[in-house]
Structure 1
């Protein structure tokens, strides 16, 4: 079992993912890192989520930032969205993550703030462990 799964929509989001994993490396919590696009690899994403036994997802995405919402639509586990400053200084991604439809909650941290996403995941895990 892995505690946290960090999924980025593109390899170009690696620096943001590294900010999250740098924080997680200083804990006893386990994590896995994947590059799976909600648009380019939807079947792979569905399969990964269905097979995952993690407790928290961190989803890193820019532009339309669909990844966190797609993950949240497929699991009851907490999803933390990290908007990426790919265009419009990241405001497009931030709004996409923050404005989820009813019943599909996604927590959001600041633009490019993978570190805070990891800190939030740790707080969630501390509550359940």
Structure 2
């Protein structure tokens, strides 16, 4: 989707795409436009920094950045932008994402990165929806209604389960 992209979904490698599609699914559910790119804090640092610096001018309101192992992409984006950044640590061997989680969540003072669970890009998308809904009055009610309905669907599905 790209109908007036408000969210950037970034990943350190194209191998992260299966996980990061979860963010796109969440944004699609709420009709929020996004763009997806592969940028690396290590392999394309200049391009990554330039992207973060220019994102706000292009209308991006939230950056979701997913990476595995060293997982520096979210921090690199936060260091170069005033936009909210949501980090998605991605599970990779041999530490099953614990290295990614710690690299994403342990940011220095002044470089905030909101971090979701390991490989849970869907929640990153939902958090982006909430951030956008809180800051854009003309769509906040619509998003609030959709989020309330979605949470009700989750509740009903949980209550319907038989063990």
Kept in 1: contact 2:49–2:76 (CA 8 A): no
1:89 aligns with 2:92: no
Q: Deviations over 1:11-57 (max 9, x none)?
A: 00001111110111122211000001110001111222222131000
Q: TM-score, normalized by length of structure 1?
A: 0.96
Matched ranges for 1:27-66 at <5 A: 27-53=30-56, 54-66=60-72
Mean alpha-carbon deviation: is it higher for 96-105 or for 44-53? 44-53
User: Which residue in 1 is equivalent to 2:120?
Assistant: 113
Higher relative contact order (CA 8 A, sep 6+): 1
Count of paired positions = 129
CA RMSD of aligned residues (A): 0.9
Moved segments of 4+, more than 2 Å: none
1:125 aligns with 2:128: no
Task: Mark the runs of 5 or more structure 1 residues left unpaired by the alignment.
Answer: none
Q: TM-score, normalized by length of structure 2?
A: 0.77
Q: Distance in 2 between matches of 1:70 and 1:97?
A: 10
Name which of 98, 106, 121 aligns with 2:105.
98
Q: Distance in 2 between matches of 1:37 and 1:119?
A: 24
Task: Mark the runs of 5 or more structure 2 residues left unpaired by the alignment.
Answer: 137-163
SS of alignment partner, residue 31 of structure 2: coil
